[in-house]
Amino acid sequence: MSRPLLVLDARLLDPASGLDRRGGLLAIGGRIAEFGPQVTGALAPSGTQVVDARGACLAPGLVDLRVGFGEPGAEHKERFESGGRAAVAGGITSLALLPDTDPPIDDPAMVEFVARRARQVKLAKVYPMAAVTRGLAGRELAELGLLKAAGAVAFTDGFAAVADARLMRRALAYASMIDGLLVQHPEEPTLAAGGAMNEGPVATRLGLPGIPAAAEVVMVERDLRLLELAGGRLHVAHLTTAAAVAAIRAAKARGLAVTCDTTPHHLLLTEAEVEGYRTFAKVSPPLRGEADRLALIEGLVDGTIDAIASDHRPQDQDSKRLPFGQAAFGVVGLQTLLAASLELVHTGRMGLLELLRKLTAAPAAILGLEAGRLQRGVPADLVLFDPDAAWTVTEKGLLSLAKNTAFEGRTFRGRVLRTWVDGRCVFEAEP
């Protein structure tokens, strides 16, 4: 059991309730006991850890919808320990883990393995997502009911779309009976096959095979039709195109149970990052053009896009330092999730509470987690951060085993000072 925690003189931020005011927070037994301007040092029980926030922002810990580790099977890329350290250094206290491990998370024993490893490491809380299909092969459904009973918070085949429409319809229908969430990678595989970056003039000039924007919206619109047919709940991961945003906006207007997210790298970067054949800018789905990037921001602001996820996909040097067409897809993003997202606040695109909702309460609600808000009685999963403190992203400063960041050398404003999980300090920044 953690010691009581008292944080004084903080800017309390709770997107779920709209709270934004100075005050303190008291946690006892790993849960929030009291918060607000009435919290003072006089409330502290004996043995309390007292932290003077000095006006820094205290918010619910971030909830990351989409994270990949290498363990088991590719521990040289990321282990629970290294990924957990990177997560809490980025203010993330809860994360949903992709099932594309080796072996994949497609049976209850693997779901239990993830839960056990997270308990052993004692950093961020890790919630396993299980495979939709056996072996992530896209041919037959996994035992969704047993996987959910074992603790899976959602079902996805990771970076592989469920391409078979009949199988996807069955998955949605079955998941609806167990209140399961289907998470889809929005890319029609035959249209995207062999592509290395966004299809367009930049790809043509560089001589690289392209992935058309149509590959995304074709899959999104198909799945929305299947959702109407079969029922259930659908979450579309890492949107990248204006057309897909428009399709989901229309589906929500029709009352469909669909949610979606995008990533900081798709919000801040474009296909121009690939110039010079920079493999650290090779991601799936690919970075798109400026018009698509602006449409993502518009969709985030108007509520079409529900959440921002890191889409953390660690790759070792041998997988990235290859000719562009042969290099692996993916970037790391745990440690930069908050700081990169805060760019939307600093540029006047979103308010601070509005942005934090996309990183806390909204993803927690999508996954059905007891997280993402300041409320009496809930776990004291918290992040203390200075929204204006500047820091520069360097490979050396990243705590992930993998260093494949898309933001190398970029200076952000927004520095995590401390992170607590169940009232226990799991990260403290160096002075």
Q: Give the catalytic positions in this structure.
A: 311
Burial of 277 (0-12, 13-18, 19+ CB in 10 A): middle
- Could you give the CA distance from residue 374 to residue 20 in angstroms, rounded to a whole number? 11
* Run of H or E including 181: strand 181-184
- Could you give the CA distance from residue 13 to residue 122 in angstroms, rounded to a whole number? 25
Residue 264 preceded by cis peptide, ω within 30: no
Beta-bridge partners for 181 = 233
- Could you give the CA distance from residue 407 to residue 331 in angstroms, rounded to a whole number? 9
What letter represents residue 390's amino acid? A
**Which residue reads 């989409």 in tokens?**
66
- Could you give the CA distance from residue 190 to residue 194 in angstroms, rounded to a whole number? 9
- Could you give the CA distance from residue 223 to residue 226 in angstroms, rounded to a whole number? 5
- Among residues 5, 13, 15, 10, which one has the least CA distance to residue 37? 10
How far does Cα 273 stand from its chain's mean position?
A: 22
Residues whose CB falls within 8 Å of the CB of residue 396, separated by 6 or more in sequence, listed in order = none
